[in-house]
């Protein structure tokens, strides 16, 4: 081969290439011959095909699953009547459904099931235009021209309960510090019975919405007013605290700011204030302002030096003092609730206050839900004060 043939591009020297038969011609001819033979065999040698026969593809029918084996018999003890009572009590407690059996028996026949309303009793809408006074801070509560008082109009109605005996001991439960934490406030609104009274601090966000939600669930509400403690300013209740160093006009102005934070409350309670409530010159004008606006006053009972009883009686302000702080010691809440029940049975009425803490809400909520089954009437704070005339109730410790 000449040396320059190595450098020629392949396939370009077509003039000198010899003509060749295509490589596929012979296989194609053989294939045609084979196909022709098959056609001839089919026409003359193959058996005839039944043109009516149609092939169908049928999915196999699934076999039913074998039945499950019979459960093994065990020697379980049959439930006793005592077991049934425990189970029924647990169901009633957890669901809020009360089962009333004929003649007080435990037989399962002739049962009446009473389901409480989902949101409790309906409270009057707030603010009521009759009970609103305009101020530079916002709406303030007042006595209406027709004599209507916020303490009455915004109160939770008290209805006779046929399940309780006449004159049943009454319990008032007040949860304070609500509104500061939205999750805790929501939990209290969602989980506590409507008969529990809520005390809202004046500093939380969305106070009006939280109060409206609580009242929609049947909770009576009061406003907590920050008052000067003994160790102020080491302990500072917050802005607009009522102070012994302020003039009566300054304290009244601060009280108006506090009162304008939301509407629909029946009264005002102290937040701290051991020093303030022991000072006649400072405390008396504030109590007078509260009474003149148709509100009640709650003393939480934490200060033995408080002048609530004497000043309220002197000025005709409807006021009441709590018997016990329920959660001074978190691990003693249950024992304190037992003491509160004993006070109610002894004196006919007992008021307990507590803070909005998770453990307090849980234990007080459990007590509130079973109060009726123990023969106790859970009533709102307003029911502890006579609505016929201004009065003060101080049962002592």
The CATH number that applies at residue 200 is 3.20.20.370
pTM to 2 decimals?
A: 0.70
Answer yes or no: do 145 and 268 share one domain.
yes
Distance CA 191, CA 362 (A): 9
Q: Is the bond preceding 24 in cis, omega lying within 30 degrees of 0?
A: no
CA distances to 20, 80, 174, 213, 264 from 182, in Å:
95, 46, 18, 12, 19
Answer yes or no: do 100 and 201 share one domain.
no
pLDDT of residue 122: 86
What average pLDDT score do residues 13-23 get? 44
Distance CA 192, CA 198 (A): 10
Answer whether residue 119 shows pLDDT above 50.
no
Cα angle for residues 357, 358, 363 (degrees, 5° grid): 100
Answer yes or no: do 199 and 97 share one domain.
no
Answer yes or no: do 248 and 106 share one domain.
no
Answer yes or no: do 333 and 366 share one domain.
yes
Q: Is residue 49 part of a domain?
A: no
pLDDT of residue 120: 54
Q: Is residue 68 part of a domain?
A: no
The dihedral sign for the CA sequence 86, 89, 91, 94: negative
What average pLDDT score do residues 112-139 get? 78
pLDDT of residue 214: 98
Higher local confidence (pLDDT), 164 or 286: 286
Answer yes or no: do 109 and 183 share one domain.
no
Q: Is residue 249 part of a domain?
A: yes
Answer yes or no: do 155 and 292 share one domain.
yes
Q: Which of 36-50, 100-114, 341-355 is predicted with the least confidence, judged by mean pLDDT?
A: 100-114
Q: Is residue 70 part of a domain?
A: no
Answer yes or no: do 92 and 182 share one domain.
no
Structurally, how many domains does the chain consist of? 2
Which of the four pLDDT bands, split at 50, 70 and 90, describes residue 63?
low
Question: Domain containing 98: what range?
Answer: 82-114
Answer yes or no: do 343 and 290 share one domain.
yes
What average pLDDT score do residues 35-51 get? 44
């Amino acid at each position: 081969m000449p040396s320059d043939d190595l450098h020629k591009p392949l396939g370009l020297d077509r003039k000198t290439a010899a003509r060749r038969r295509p490589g596929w011609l012979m296989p194609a001819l053989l294939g045609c011959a084979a196909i022709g033979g098959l056609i001839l065999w089919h026409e003359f040698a193959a058996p005839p095909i039944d043109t009516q026969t149609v092939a169908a593809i049928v999915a196999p029918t699934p076999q039913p699953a074998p039945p499950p084996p019979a459960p093994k018999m065990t020697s379980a003890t049959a439930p006793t009547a005592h077991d049934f009572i425990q189970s029924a009590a647990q169901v009633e407690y957890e669901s809020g459904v009360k089962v009333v059996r004929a003649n007080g028996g435990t037989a399962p026949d002739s049962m009446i099931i009473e389901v409480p309303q989902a949101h409790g009793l309906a409270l009057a809408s707030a603010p009521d235009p009759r009970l609103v006074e305009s101020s530079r801070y916002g709406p303030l509560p007042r006595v209406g021209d027709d004599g209507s008082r916020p303490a009455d109009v915004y109160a939770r109605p008290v209805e006779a309960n046929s399940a309780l005996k006449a004159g049943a001991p009454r319990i008032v439960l007040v949860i304070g510090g609500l509104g500061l934490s939205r999750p805790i406030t929501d939990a209290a609104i969602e989980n506590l019975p409507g008969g529990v009274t809520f005390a809202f601090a004046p500093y939380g966000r969305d106070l009006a919405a939280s109060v409206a939600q609580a009242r929609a669930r049947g909770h009576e509400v009061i406003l907590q007013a920050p008052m000067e403690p003994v160790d102020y300013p080491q302990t500072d209740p917050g802005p607009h605290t009522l102070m012994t160093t302020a003039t009566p006009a300054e304290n009244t102005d601060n009280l108006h700011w506090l009162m304008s934070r939301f509407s629909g409350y029946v009264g005002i309670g102290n937040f701290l204030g051991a020093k303030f409530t022991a000072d006649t010159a400072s405390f008396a004008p504030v109590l007078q302002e509260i009474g003149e606006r148709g509100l009640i006053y709650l003393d939480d009972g934490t200060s033995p030096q408080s002048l609530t009883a004497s000043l309220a009686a002197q000025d005709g302000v409807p006021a009441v003092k709590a018997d016990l702080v329920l959660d001074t010691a978190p691990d003693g809440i249950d024992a304190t609730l037992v003491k509160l029940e004993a006070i109610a049975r002894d004196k006919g009425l007992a008021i307990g206050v507590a803070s909005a803490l998770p453990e307090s809400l849980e234990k007080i909520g459990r007590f509130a839900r079973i109060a009726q089954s123990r023969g106790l009437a859970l009533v709102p704070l307003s029911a502890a004060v006579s609505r016929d005339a201004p009065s003060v109730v101080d049962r002592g410790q």
